[in-house]
Amino acid sequence: MDPTPIHWAPLWLSLKVAGWSTIICAFVGTALGLFQARARYPGREFVDALLMLPMVLPPTVLGYYLLVLLGSRSTLGHWLDDQWGVQLIFTWQGAVVAAALVALPLVYKAARLGFEAVPTDLENAGRALGLTPSAVFARITLPLAGKSISSGCLLAFARAMGEFGATLMVAGNIPSQTQTLALAVYDAVQSGNDSLATTLVLLTSAACVAVLLAAGYLLRATPSVVSGLKCRLIAPPSSPLARRDEES
């Protein structure tokens, strides 16, 4: 019998689940981090505590919440099935939702800290030079917070790779369908298959080391963002100063 599906299928599924959940966390976590960093309203810290709750709640508790929210008997789950034909329970898509919920606080907190650390004088300088709010965000705010957001996304990917409890509750442990590496290791240990468990553990360790090495390389390869932004702010392409420099 070809052992490849047994050894590699959980790895590919784990990478797929971690990848999609990281994409979700990147967009949602960045948006929430920006809102919490800039907005001022009553109960702001309470909302922050709610957003960080998945970090401290047991994963099985989060999985139960998702079962109640997305199950076929729930209003949302019934609507998704009836209107769109989408069923998340016991599917790999459900594993993505579970992993994204667990990993979201890592991106959210990193994004909030990154946006709060952006120097307001650079943003004000961009506005004074005639940049629109969207241009200020795209050319100044987001690049300056980019390293923090990137580090949060990498941590979210690693966290999603190792997710166990919430995934088991929502997606189950179906081989070649919803069985991630963490679930496959648990299955192998429970069945007494030490050789398979060792192989899966080595695969998991190698994948995590590869992610960490790639993260370190990307962070080292990132140029100095602040100095580049200062150069662009001194003479953006549409400013009179830039046109004067071109004429001279």
Query: How many Å apart are CA 127 and CA 193, to the nearest integer?
Result: 63
**Burial class, 63, CB count within 10 angstroms (exposed 0-12 / middle 13-18 / buried 19+):** buried
pTM: 0.81
Here the tokens at position 16 are 């797929």
Q: What is the pLDDT of residue 160?
A: 92
Angle formed by the axes of helices 120-128 and 225-234, nearest 10°: 30
Task: Write the pLDDT tens digit of every residue in 93-121.
Answer: 999 999 999 999 999 999 999 999 888 88
With contact defined as beta carbons under 8 Å apart, do 17 and 99 qualify? yes
DSSP 46: H
Task: Write the pLDDT tens digit of every residue in 1-59.
Answer: 444 345 678 888 998 999 999 999 999 999 999 999 999 999 999 999 999 999 999 99
Look-up: residue for tokens 């994409």? 23
Here the tokens at position 93 are 């898509």
201 to 94, 95, 178, 188, 217: CA distances (angstroms): 24, 20, 18, 10, 24
